[in-house]
Amino acid sequence: MRRWESLGQARVRSYSEAMRIPVMRMHWFSMGCLRKNTGLSIIPGSLKTLILLGMGCWWQALIPGQALENSSLPSERIFEQLELKNREREEALREYSHHRTYRVLKEDHTSRAELQVESHYTPPGQKSFKTLMRKGSSWIHRFVFQRLLDAETDAASGKSKQDNSITSRNYTFRLLGEAVIRDYPCYVMEATPRRQAKYLFIGKIWIHKTDFAIVRIEGHPAKKVSMWVRRTDITRDYQKIGAFWLPLHDYTLSDVYLFGKNILEIQYLDYQIKPEAGEANVP
Task: Name which residue leads in pLDDT, 148 or 227.
Answer: 148
Tell me whether residue 283 is in a domain: no
Name the residue range of residue 60's domain. 2-278
Q: What is the pLDDT of residue 275?
A: 67
> Quick one: DSSP state of residue 46?
B
Pairing of the two strands 111-122 and 96-106: antiparallel
pLDDT at 16 over 60: no
Beta strands in the chain (DSSP E): 47-48, 96-106, 111-122, 126-136, 171-181, 184-193, 201-208, 214-221, 229-241, 244-256, 260-273
Mean pLDDT of the chain: 76
For residues 186 and 208, what is the distance between their CA atoms, to the nearest angstrom? 4
pLDDT at 125 over 70: yes
Lowest mean pLDDT among 41-55, 82-96, 237-251: 41-55
Backbone angles phi, psi at 161, to 5 degrees: -95, 0
Give strand pairing partners of 193: 171
Omega of the bond leading into 221 within 30 degrees of 0 (cis) = no
pLDDT at 73 over 60: yes
How much is the CA Rg of the chain, to the nearest whole Å?
18
Longest dimension (CA), the chain: 65
Instruction: State the distance between the two ends of the chain, measured CA to CA, in whole angstroms.
Output: 63
Domain count, the chain: 1
Tell me the per-residue pLDDT of 185-224, one tens digit each, with 9 for 90 and over.
999 999 999 988 778 899 999 999 999 999 999 998 888 7
Tell me the per-residue pLDDT of 144-169, one tens digit each, with 9 for 90 and over.
899 899 988 887 777 665 677 888 88
